[in-house]
Each structure stands twice: as structure tokens, then as C-alpha cells.
Amino acid sequence: MFRPSGNLEWSLACSHARKWHFLGSINSELRSVEVAKALCRLGVMSGNRILRIKWPDSPFSEEGERRTSENMESFQKLCGEPIILERDLLAPVSDFTMDAQNPTTSAVVLDITSMPKRFYFYYLKSLILNPMVDDLFVTYCAGRYGQGALSSNHEDWEVLPTFRCSNRSAEEEARKRLAVNVGFMPGGLEEHLMTDESETDLSLILPFPARVSSVRRVWKSAMEIRNQWYGESSSVHICRVAPDDISGAFDLICRIANGNPLSLAPFGPKPISAAMCIFATLTDSPVYYAQPKWYNPDYTTGPDTDNDGQPKISGHWIKHSGKLLYNYPVH
Amino acid sequence: MSILNTNPFQDPRAADSLNGKAYVRCFSPYLVAHLPEVFAQGNVILRGTIGCGKSMILRLFDPKVRIAYFEEGVEFPVPKGQRMFIATGVNLSKSGVLDIVQRMPNTATNEDVQRLTAIFVDYLNYWLVNDLLDSCERMMLKKECFEGLIDPTRIDHFVAAVVNEDCWFGYLSECKTLKAIRERIDERLNHLRSWANWNIDALDKAVEQSKAAIGEPVACSVVCMKDSGLLESEAVAFVRIDQVEELLHKDPPQYQLTEEFRRHIYRALGRRDGRVSYRIGTRNYDSEILSMPGGRKLEESRDYVIRDFDAILRRGENPKDWLFKGFAGDVFNHRLNAALPDGLPPFSSKRSLCRQFFGASPTPQVLVERIIVKQDTPVEALININDLKAPWQNFIRAVYKRETGISKVTSSGYKIDPLNAALALAWAKQNGGHAGQPPRCETDEPPKLVSKAPWTVWWQKERVSHAMLQLSASHRQKLIWWGMEDVLALSSNNITLFLSICRETWELWQRELRSSSNAPAFGEVPLTVQQVAIENISKRWHQNLSKQPGRPGGDVRIRFLDRVFADLRIKLRKDEAMRYPGANGFSVLLDEVEQFPELKRLLDECVAWGDLECIEHTSKNPADKIRGRRFKYYANSILVPHYQIFQAHTKEPRYVLPDELLKHAISAKALPTSAEAQKPTSQQPELDLGQHS
């Protein structure tokens, strides 16, 4: 199925112009406001909800708060007053069940650029399942990543809220095969593999092509994960997909699953994680993660830019005119 | 299989992660005899750090393991008189039962908390019954493995009896077969999962109206099994609840809910009706035993006993009672026998394979010869004698050149004696325990050259490791470890750690054997191989511990410990008088550290995850008698090579104030600066211990 995705303006132009309800998150990253600003400049945003995370107290809190306030001001200047959803990072689902409900229009942009997974996985799932949402468009602004530890102080290996299989035995089956979106920080995953014997098959999805520095860091993570694998060497599979290709990543995950139960671990680029979310939503697959609680204020040092110096923003159609563009082929 | 193409320690995880045959072949029954309470009636709280062997023991409750023993023709390791049992269990983390917390409203009322707790209890109840029935079915299928414990011909009587029990409130009344009961229970569990995960909005009325008190359904089921003749009437029913520490982890407002969950689990332990016996598995948190609903508090010994694996395995005053030593040796033998079924290559004796593999650890003299190889190294390069008066300088030079009665003759022909020279310097810089007096080197003449050592054997023993640290640092060499005693000490009484050292040593040894022209034979691994293996494993565990989760996570905790132990090492290096030879650890007063809740939590978490070892101790500071309890902390022994300190826990650790630890935590970005908000009021002097001779 053709699923338009690519440069923000190009992707939007694939269908007729419409007004969009915007759901995004603003934090200390400069890139967190880029998509909202771009949509405002295009004049297509009709309403907004901005997730502002209340981070657990950390040595980075003060600096993080200062930068977040600056980014909020930057949003206000161009897009007007935001409707802020203030949520604790580890808030129970009951706190944010309504966040993605009742949008101002039936067309929704979900900007996952700076949104923690435990929120955007739930939002994306709700928006996919919401029959009132006709058009669903996911956006992402690539960033220039900082050096050293980008995040720390992670939680236990656990399912992302609401992403447990509804059936116990199905989850046990799914746990035997794990697909990992490999990123720079595999915190929690290594420890899980070291202490848990559930998985017998491991697929490592590496973002490629990517910057040389990113490729190096991702391979380092892959090696660290591999070092904790006590299963057969032949049961570790390496696969590659472009880091900003939701559609390609979804197809790859379908191929990995090949009609069998699969569990997912989204540790890498957000668009690949979004593909995992779509797959899990359609197949009732479990998604595991170890949520970091502290983020380095220099997680990204700014948006990644194209040859013209413009932020690299990609847009991905998930639903169009009431039709979901993704489906899991029947095996 | 030969020793060249197999590594018996390939999977260093303890036998808890191995299945069937592999478990039977690798499991060491060594500890079973030392843990009689685990297989006896009564409630037991089992505490211990990850990898200590706790889960490995608990797996003996699993009928699959017992079947595997039978099929392999190996005697089941549980003592004969304690084999009549059936077990069920839940892992709070893996089962998804804690997903219910996601249903907690932002502004939860007391009513919300009570309702969610009732649902948690219901989930737990049905999970346990489901697992009990699963065990029962497995046992029925292989009844010959269970020595008359189960009689499958009585299953219909059990079904007829159990469905009419009051505890189900009619939920199972339509079920006529075991299969139907299991399907009905499965339906309920999946329904609860869906609700907890927001896949459905409301619970079925049938579920809402049939919730029972904690432990009641599983206890009733056990009674019905016995009454119907399905289960031997004398059998004990064990209920395992693992990872209870998960209930300590939730932050406010969820903590209100998880605290209530804990109270209900304690209520199950407090029933005292003997129908089932609970086994509560938890990491080493010093958590408060909360009151049960209704107000009564559990009483240790009466309602439960605690078995702390770390404490059981820790070396005590008498080395002969050190369980870990025998345990590790037995695990080593089992792994070797499992990996080399055709038998081992020839070796000198079948006694203590482990000792033959690692050999003996070095004496201090051997160690110093390995570290300071160049015997023409001048004394000034190793020991700072410049600020001593000439007679003392001459004395230490003479000791260094083995020209005094202090040095013993060595068989190696080693010409210098840096170790005694370093000790002599420390001796010179001490004042003999006379507080406020100048050191000996300023008041006394040095001992005569022909004299034997002026210090006592104990004084020397307590300072040898300290001296080795100073000498190796001055010589810009690393401290090194090898041999059985060192391996056991660095394993931190943790069997997974011990197996990790074995695995790495075996792997490096194989490489060496492959490049050797001699026929491979089992025997002592060259010490250079062991040194490298231990160094590698120390580095790797430093990384592994930093990858553990927790609150705060391992990376944060290890950043903090890196600062603390780097600082302690610097202090040990600078302490030329060796006044604090026990300062490879630190000690704090509980009352003082509790004034800084975030620091206390950081230290507790370090202990729970095994980064730090914590032991209560008697203070040598008279003022502490009225200031309360004191705890000493040491790094996990496997980190000792990484931190380049020494492992021995002799003498008093360094007494510190919490704000010294706080400074390290803040500079390591392990705690925010706000953690420093309160300052302790009491002024605590640093303990003066080292001047006694």
C-alpha cells in the first residue's frame, strides 16, 4: 500500500489542504518546537495540545526547565497560546487517557519528536483506534545528537503502558521472539537479556543509512546487546531500515514476525518505534521498554538540517480520509 | 567434548535459568541442607541480591524440575522427609499484576485505593490458583515422579468439591471438569489484564461481585485437593510471591496503592491457619514490615522467618563455617561434570577441582615480587622517606636492602624488601597510640638493625594490603589477584559472579592452550591468565552493575560509587602512617544519614542491587553509644580490582559524615543539589584508630 511519507511539506501536499489539530511535546530540546513552528508558518494548525513533562528531580532539572521555558516562549511567539498538558513522566495511564481524545478537527498531527515513548505509544494507539479521527499524520524532526550518555537512571524492563498482550499465553509465546529497535542507549535491555531466559530469538533492527557517527554508536549498542545474549549465535538476526522510514520499518517488522507472535523493544529512532507501535496496535503484541528518568539537556544540540539549512522534518500519513494505511497481512 | 572446545561456564547465570536436563546436571544441592526452613511448613521471607542463588533453590518447587530429576535418574536433592509438597507462585513483575497501578486516578480517594487493592488481590488469587492447577496437572501426567503425592483418579472428586467453595462466590459453579475450571480462570485473568491495560473500560459484574480475601482461593483449593484424596493429606503447599520489592518502587501517589498491596500480602502471611506456606522472595531492602489491614503487625519467628542469602553465604569469624566456599567448589564440580560427560583429562586428585584450577593465592611476598619486578628500583621511588631524619632514613633503606632482622630469607632470591620497608615507614610515622604525641620518627631512635620487627604480627597483618596498595601505586603498577582465595573473596559470596570469573578464566586459558605445543591437560591456570581474567571481569561487572535498573538506576549509583572509592583510594595512598588500614570502606551513623532521605535511598538502592555490601557494626567511637546504630559499607568485591583498592575488610572502615557522601553524590550528578538542603547538626570526629601498635 502507498503510504506517503517524506519531507513535511511534500507529504502534506500529497492530499488536499486541511486544518490540523496538533498534539506534540515541548521540552528542553530545540528541535521540540520545530514541527509546530513549521505548521504555523504553513497556516494549517487549528488547535493544539502541548505535552509538558514534569521530570523527576535530577541534577539536570534546573537547566532542563530553563530551556523548556525558552522553547515554550518560542512556540507562543509563532503559534499563540498553547494548551498545556502537564504530566509526570511516570504518570499512570489514568492521567493521560483523555489527552488524545476529542481533537478540535478530525485531522490530527502527532509530533513524536520530543515525546516520551510511554506517552506517544498510547496516543498513537488511541488515535489509530479512534473512529472520529479521519486523518492521522505523524511528524518527526531529526536532531543532532550530543555526546556521552544521553539518558540515564532507567526503570525496570516493563511493558509500555497498555501494551501488554490481552492474553497471557499469547504474551508468553510472543516473549520468545524479540525485535529490538537499536539506539545509542540500550539501558535496561542488556540487563534483561542477562537475567531473563524468555527470548530464544533476537532481531536487531539497525537504523541505516545514517550518519557515520550514528552508525558507529548503534553498532556499539548492538555489540553490547549481543554480548549479553546467551542463546545460540544463529538466533541473532541483524536487519536494517532507514531511521525515518515508518512505512519501511513496519514492513520489516511484519517480515520478522512472519505471522508468528513477536515482542518489541523500541530503543532506537522514534519513527522506527512508531512503526513498532502501529504493529503492536494491530496485532496485540507486547512492547517492552526500560524508561530512562533523566535526560541530558544536550540530548540533541539542535535540529538536524538539510542542505538549505532547514530543519529535517519528516511527515508520515498513518490514516487518510478514514482509512488506515497500515494492515498486518494475514498469514 | 574436550577442555579445548567447551566452556563449562559458558552461561554464567546460576542454574535458575537452565531447564530440564541442564538444570539437573548443573544444580548444586550444597545449600539445600543448610536451608531446612525453605522446604518445611511455615512462612519464609527469602532475601538476597541478584545472582546469589535464591531463585535457583526456589526452582526446586517447580514440578518440571522434579520430573527432570526423575527422568535423568538423579536423586531429587530435597531431603526425603520434605518432598511431599505442591507449589504455586507469582512473580509480581512478570505477571502483569502490577499493571493495575495504571488504573489509579490522579486524585485517588481512599475508596479508589480500596477498590484497586481488592482487584489486585483478586488478580493475585486467581493467578496463584491457576498456577497451582497447572502444577497439579503436570504432576498428574507424571505421577510416578512424585512418590505417591498425587492420585489422578480423585480428580473428579476434587472438581466437584472445589467449585462449590464459598471463596468463588459462584464464579466456578458451572464448571464440571478441571479443564472447564482452568478455562474459566484463564478468562478471568485475561479480563483483568485487559482492564488493567485500558483495553476495556469496565470490569464484568461477575468479576466485580466475586472477589475474595487474599490467599483464600488458593488455600481452599489446597484443602479440597487433600480432602478429595487428589493430594496426599500430609503434603505442604507452598505459595511463592517473587519480587515483592517492586511494591517499594512506586512513587507517590502510586505508593499509597502499593503500600496497601503490601499490607494485604502481609495479611496472607499472618493467617496462621497452616493451609499454605508462603515464600516471599525479595532483594536486600531493609523495608519496614507494615501493619496488616486491621492493625496487627507480623511477628518474626511467629508469623515468618527471614533467610538472608547474602548473610548465610558471608564469611564469618570462623573460616570453616564459610558456606560459600563449599558451595562454589560444588558448583564448579557440577559444571565440569556437566560439560565433560566423558570425564576430565587426567589430573592429580579428585579433591577440590576448583583449587586445582585456580591454585593458591599469592602470599604478600610473592605478590610484591610480581609487582616490583626490577630489583634495582631505588627505595625513594617507592617510599617517601625524604622528610624523615637521617637515622630513620638509613633504617628504612636497610630494611629495603634486607640488611635487618626484619626480612626473612626468600627462596626466590629476591634482593629487596619493599613490603617491610613500607611497613617500617608506617611504624615510624605512628606514635604508639599516644594521642597528641609526635610520631616515633621524631622522638625515638630507629630499631637496631639486628632486631626483629618491632611491630606485632597483628599490626602487620592489618596493614599488609594497605602497604601493597601504596607500593603498587608508587611503582605505577596495578594491584593483581589470582588463586582460589582471591577468586572466592572477589566473588562477593555471589555464585553468578564466581561463575563469571570461571567463564572468563576458562576462555582465556583455552586460548593459551591452543597456542601451546603441549597436550592440553586440566590443571592450574597460569597466573598471568588469571590476572587478566579477573581484571576483565571486574571491568565488565562495573559496566553490568551500571546497567541495572533501580531508583536511582545503576548508572547513577555507579557514578556515585566511582567518586566515593576514588576518594578512598587517594586517602589510602596518602595515609603513609597507615592509620586507617580499614579505609577501603566507610561507615555512617543511621540517624545522621536518615536526615538526608535521598542519600539514604541512594545507599539503600546500592545495597539492594549488590553494588555495595552493608553490615551493621559496633562503633569504636565512645560518643556513638548514645548516637545510635552504625553501618559500614564496602564495594562489591568484584569492583575492587577496578577501583584498585584491596578487598580485605580488616580494622575499622573510614567514619564519615553524610555530607561527605552527599558532596560525592552531587559532584557525580547522582543527586540534585537540592538533596543538600539539610545539614547535619552533630559534629562527628574522624575516628582515631591507627596509632596503636
- CB contact B371 to A (< 8 Å): no
Which of A58, A169, A223 should be substituted to probe chain B, the one whose Cβ sees the most B Cβ atoms within 10 Å? A58
Are A75 and A103 within 8 A, CB to CB? no
Tell me: do A20 and A142 sit in the same domain: yes
Report the distance separating Cα A32 and Cα A69, nearest Å: 12
Q: Does A164 contact B93 at a Cβ distance shorter than 8 Å?
A: no
Whole-number Cα distances in Å, B343 to B3, B499, B521, B522, B552: 10, 20, 12, 11, 47
In B, which residues are within 8 Å of A160 by CB distance?
none
- Say whether both A66 and A143 belong to one domain: yes
The answer to whether residues A142 and A187 belong to one domain is no
**How many beta-carbon pairs under 8 angstroms link A with B?**
112
- Residue B671, chain A, CB below 8 Å: the answer is yes
Residue in the block written with cell 539506539: A183
Give the pLDDT of residue B690.
Answer: 42
d(CA B380, CA B475): 11
Closest CA to A98 of A168, A164, A23, A28: A23
A104 in a structural domain: yes
Identity of the amino acid at B416: I
Q: Are residues A279 and A195 in the same domain?
A: yes
Question: Do A184 and A272 share a domain, yes or no?
Answer: yes
B201 touches chain A (CB under 8 A): no
Cα torsion angle, B410, B413, B419, B423, sign: positive
What's the pLDDT at B16?
A: 59
- Shared-domain flag, residues A46 and A108: yes
Mean pLDDT confidence for A24-48: 96
Contact B555 A158 (CB under 8 A): no
Question: What's the pLDDT at B76?
Answer: 96
Say whether both A79 and A133 belong to one domain. Answer: yes
> Each residue of A297-313: pLDDT tens digit?
888 999 999 999 999 99
The DSSP annotation for B479-529 comes to ----SHHHHHHHTTT-HHHHHHHHHHHHHHHHHHHHT-SSPP---PPPHHH
Radius of gyration of the CA atoms of chain B, in A: 30
Chain B contacts of A92, Cβ < 8 Å? 101-104, 106, 254
Interchain CB distance below 8 Å, A166 and B199: yes
Q: With bands split at pLDDT 50, 70 and 90, how would you rate the model's confidence at A229?
A: confident
User: Does any domain span residue A331?
Assistant: no
Task: Annotate A166-207 with three-state secondary structure.
Answer: CCHHHHHHHCCEEEEECCCCCCCHHHHHHHCCCCCEEEEEEE
Closest to B289 (Cα-Cα) out of B276, B308, B270 = B270
**From the list A92, A195, A197, which residue is nearest B102 (CB)?**
A92
* Interchain CB distance below 8 Å, A97 and B198: yes
Same domain (yes/no): A85, A161: no
Grid coordinates of B345: 583429562
Cα separation, B104 vs A95, whole angstroms: 8
Nearest-Cα distance to chain A for B542, in Å, is 13
- Contact at CB, A164 and B99, closer than 8 angstroms: yes
Q: Quick: pLDDT tens for A56-92.
A: 888 888 999 999 999 999 999 999 999 999 999 999 9
Across the range A218-226, mean pLDDT stands at: 93
Total H helices, total E strands in chain A: 9, 18
- Inside any domain, residue A330: no
Is the CB of B10 less than 8 angstroms away from the CB of A230?
yes
All residue ranges of chain B with pLDDT < 70 are 1, 14-18, 286-290, 344-351, 677-693
Residue A239, in any domain of the structure: yes
**Which residues of chain B make contact with A163, given a CB cutoff of 8 A?**
197
Secondary structure (3-state) at B74: coil
Which chain A residue is nearest to residue B246, measuring alpha carbons? A156
Range of the domain at A186: 156-290
Contact state of B99 with A168 under an 8 Å Cβ cutoff: no
Lowest model confidence (mean pLDDT) among A144-153, A271-280, B503-512: A144-153
- Written as nine digits, the cell of B515 is 597456542
- Name the 3-class secondary structure at B372: coil
Q: Is residue A230 included in any domain, yes or no?
A: yes
DSSP per position, B587-630: EEEHHHHTTSHHHHHHHHHHHHTTSEEEEEE--S-GGGGGT--E
Does A132 share its domain with A218?
A: no
Residue A132 and residue A22 share a domain: yes
Looking at chain A, the whole-number percentage of residues with pLDDT higher than 90 is 79
Q: Is it the case that residue A9 has pLDDT exceeding 60?
A: yes
Indicate which CATH number applies to the domain containing A258.
Answer: 3.40.50
- The pLDDT of residue B89: 95
**How far apart, in whole angstroms, are the C-alpha atoms of residue A198 and residue A177?**
8
**Chain A residues in contact with B103 (beta carbon < 8 A):** 92-94
CA distance A211 to chain B (A): 26
Same domain, residue pair A250 and A194: yes
Q: Does B106 touch chain A (CB under 8 A)?
A: yes
| pTM, 2 dp | 0.89
Q: Are residues A209 and A129 in the same domain?
A: no
Q: Is A107 part of a structural domain of the chain? A: yes
Contacting B with CB below 8 Å, chain A residues are 56-61, 90-95, 97, 149, 152-159, 161-169, 171, 187-188, 190-191, 194-197, 230, 290, 292-294
The answer, for B249 touching chain A at a CB cutoff of 8 Å, is yes
Number of separate domains in chain A: 2
3 state SS of B398: helix
Minimum-distance CB partner of A195 among B50, B102, B674: B50
